[in-house]
Structure 1
């Protein structure tokens, strides 16, 4: 008599795969959506300050732009405090050792505090030199130095916020960072409004408002992390071995981040040399690209948390499944963003009140901005997955190779004086990152399981 259960086996397997896929989708959304909200809240600090400081006489707004650019570069190099902490904490959570997870989170906070104090002390006397590097002179430079020096008091708090965010993300919690970010944004706006316009503190008032908001955010994170650490009997004192491990992982991520910033700075420098219309178009296009990057980075943050947890649990298969699912999400979001940019492309110049020269360049370079979105979707996801796996050393080398691949294309674009060629060079950089990260993700060297 023929067997009747054989055809059912593929159907059962397909149903199980579909169930796992839906489970991964729910987890990705649970982590990514709040992460996106928190990421978007961060640039709102600067936007709010710009609106308030814009009511002051010139050159206050220009001074804010110069000082903010310097601060962004300083803090951006320390983003590893969030990324590396997320990966290490998530791995211990996956291994079932919450006490060790919190111990590593505490080490991250100690490292953030130490780096913050060193950066603040070192940059205080260098503030005029830093401002001069951005081309500021006269009264603009004087006000930029004022804003920068006041803001340096908040650097330790800013870095503690990064590390605290990493701890909570590693604990698979992205909602709390969203709440803290939104509350901090609202408080920053109210304090800056009061200090600048109410008390008449000028541009220094804007900086003090941000410092106060960041300090309160840091206090919230410290309270949450310390409370959780005590609940799991994790020590609060720094562990030298843990600090060394965090510093080593952080150094590799600093190289990766420095490569990213170098690429963007080179592109901005080349566009500036081309002319005022070119740099205007480039600035608008970069803002659009950055906003879309926040959404893609939210999936990458989910990738950090999920990858660390599944590898810590020793489940390489689940890591593979989740990675494949997140890559699909990255591609899908990239395709949607591509279509959206092409759809709004004719309207963008009007939104930014661009003149005829800026409009012509902007309409041309929005094509590569749109077309490289699917590539960016995969790159962001794989970057987050490998960070979550603790593969920082490879990411540092991959960043260097991708930057080396980008530079000749950027140089040719500068010689040609073509904005389209410059954005195609940025596209080539993304493709180089796709190749280096894709090769690694396809292999097994990064799938290191266990605590």
Structure 2
């Protein structure tokens, strides 16, 4: 098995960082294209429709993480049959989940518009958008599985090719369908659906080894022990992710209680955290793949090496981002908003943003390590404890410090996650020895 080097970590992480960089571009183009229609309703419809679908699909993000952890371990063990079967199981779940969303689309969208009501015109256009895009649900969810499989095998260049191809096709069809054909909101939805079809087609080709090697027989796919392990891993990850999302949702709601200007400032500053996630994801993904392979190979030394080398790059990236946010933060804020009061308010909380990558890097890297080791129960329990501490911190800090207390509470959440998982890390080494 190849040595774990800094170059190998960068080879895994680099394409993920570049792939993530293309994600915001698509949203900007979708908004910009419908904005050329000169009406506010289409912009709102595409925006709310995209948020509804991304919120629904986000629930199935466990499929990406679970597939990476399980398949990387099978790869480390040298079990080619299980490497293929792991992808097939994930695709079956994706297909069934996507079909379920199509069948339940009427009550799902009804509930979404009750939670986030819109004007009659916006809701009507958004329903058009959703009615087209929902047919891509099995495709969108299956892309989580394909991506997880490619990451597990260190084939992140394939992830980059997949993301860039889909986004480029989507942008091109956006321009054609909306600006040339005049299809409006339906054109934006159709462009995305076609790009998803093309994306899954390309993903099948990129993952063709799993389909053509003859190892993915039904007996392997429906192995009871493997299915039970997959169900446990994915359930733990899903619960952990729901708790994490609930924490950020609470942050947004509590920020709204601080006034409109503070709410707007928080929204601007949260974009810095999105940038941080996009930039540092690659190193956490490298940890997932390399740690998983080390656990599969029952090598504690390789596990330590994978954790240390990937984390060194993660920490380096966090330090760099923190410095950039501290030095260039005011300029970035001015790019994001022209409102003087919002600019002033955002600058007041900028030190929290500069500190966020440094405080959060441990939790992000341990997430990658624990996913690779499939210590998902420990991840879930660490998140439960961290959320409890977070709630307590908010209860104490917000009355005393206002919005500074809100940001401090978010730092407490990430710091607690990092500390808690650090204490549980020895279990990864126990598992690598084959004793867990």
TM-score range, shorter chain: over 0.9
- Asked if 1:353 is matched to 2:330, the reply is no
- Residue of structure 1 equivalent to 2:10: 29
- Residue of structure 1 equivalent to 2:318: 334
- Residue of structure 2 equivalent to 1:4: none
> 2:185, 2:228 → 1: CA distance?
39
Counterparts in 2 of 1:43 and 1:250: CA distance versus 1, 3 Å:
farther
Counterparts in 2 of 1:418 and 1:360: CA distance versus 1, 3 Å:
farther
Counterparts in 2 of 1:197 and 1:232: CA distance versus 1, 3 Å:
same
- Residue of structure 1 equivalent to 2:390: 406
- 1:364-409, Cα deviation, whole Å (9 max, x unpaired): 1211111121122221111101001011111111112211211233
Mean Cα displacement is larger for which, 45-54 or 303-312? 45-54
Counterparts in 2 of 1:69 and 1:445: CA distance versus 1, 3 Å:
same
- 1:399-423, Cα deviation, whole Å (9 max, x unpaired): 1221121123334555468322211
- Residue of structure 2 equivalent to 1:447: 431
Larger Rg: 1
> 1:282, 1:252 → 2: CA distance?
30
Residue among 239, 242, 252 paired with 2:222: 239
- Residue of structure 2 equivalent to 1:43: 24
Residue among 258, 277, 280 paired with 1:296: 280
TM-score (normalised: structure 2): 0.93
Question: Which secondary structure does the structure 1 equivalent of 2:69 belong to?
Answer: helix
> 2:8, 2:383 → 1: CA distance?
29
- Asked if 1:219 is matched to 2:201, the reply is yes
Counterparts in 2 of 1:444 and 1:96: CA distance versus 1, 3 Å:
closer
Question: Which secondary structure does the structure 1 equivalent of 2:154 belong to?
Answer: coil
Deviation at 1:143, TM superposition (A): 2.1
Counterparts in 2 of 1:44 and 1:413: CA distance versus 1, 3 Å:
farther
Aligned residues of 2:303 and 2:429 also touching (Cα < 8 A) = no
Paired positions, count: 431
- Residue of structure 1 equivalent to 2:114: 132
Deviation at 1:105, TM superposition (A): 1.3
> 1:351, 1:379 → 2: CA distance?
30
Deviation at 1:25, TM superposition (A): 0.9
- Residue of structure 2 equivalent to 1:141: 123
- 1:197-238, Cα deviation, whole Å (9 max, x unpaired): 222221121111111101211122223334433225332785
> 2:17, 2:56 → 1: CA distance?
22
CA RMSD of aligned residues (A): 2.2
Deviation at 1:355, TM superposition (A): 1.4
> 2:358, 2:56 → 1: CA distance?
30
Deviation at 1:309, TM superposition (A): 0.7
> 1:276, 1:189 → 2: CA distance?
34
- Residue of structure 2 equivalent to 1:10: none
Deviation at 1:33, TM superposition (A): 0.5
> 1:240, 1:43 → 2: CA distance?
40
Counterparts in 2 of 1:391 and 1:61: CA distance versus 1, 3 Å:
same
TM-score (normalised: structure 1): 0.90
- Residue of structure 1 equivalent to 2:297: 313
Mean Cα displacement is larger for which, 178-187 or 114-123? 114-123
Query: What runs of 5+ residues in structure 1 fail to find an aligned partner?
Result: 1-18
Question: Which secondary structure does the structure 1 equivalent of 2:103 belong to?
Answer: helix
Mean Cα displacement is larger for which, 297-306 or 57-66? 57-66
Deviation at 1:330, TM superposition (A): 2.0
- Residue of structure 2 equivalent to 1:187: 169
Counterparts in 2 of 1:335 and 1:224: CA distance versus 1, 3 Å:
closer
Deviation at 1:426, TM superposition (A): 0.7
Mean Cα displacement is larger for which, 375-384 or 224-233? 224-233
Mean Cα displacement is larger for which, 382-391 or 188-197? 188-197
Aligned residues of 1:31 and 1:172 also touching (Cα < 8 A) = yes
- Residue of structure 2 equivalent to 1:174: 156
Alignment of 1:405-444 (within 5 A): 405-412=389-396, 415=399, 418-444=402-428
> 2:380, 2:156 → 1: CA distance?
26
Deviation at 1:55, TM superposition (A): 1.9
Counterparts in 2 of 1:72 and 1:414: CA distance versus 1, 3 Å:
farther
Counterparts in 2 of 1:250 and 1:199: CA distance versus 1, 3 Å:
same
Alignment of 1:19-98 (within 5 A): 23-56=4-37, 57-98=39-80
> 2:45, 2:433 → 1: CA distance?
49
Counterparts in 2 of 1:109 and 1:359: CA distance versus 1, 3 Å:
same
> 1:136, 1:188 → 2: CA distance?
26
- Residue of structure 2 equivalent to 1:278: 262
Question: Which secondary structure does the structure 2 equivalent of 1:50 belong to?
Answer: helix
> 2:157, 2:26 → 1: CA distance?
19
> 2:21, 2:157 → 1: CA distance?
14
Alignment of 1:249-264 (within 5 A): 249-264=233-248
> 1:140, 1:63 → 2: CA distance?
5
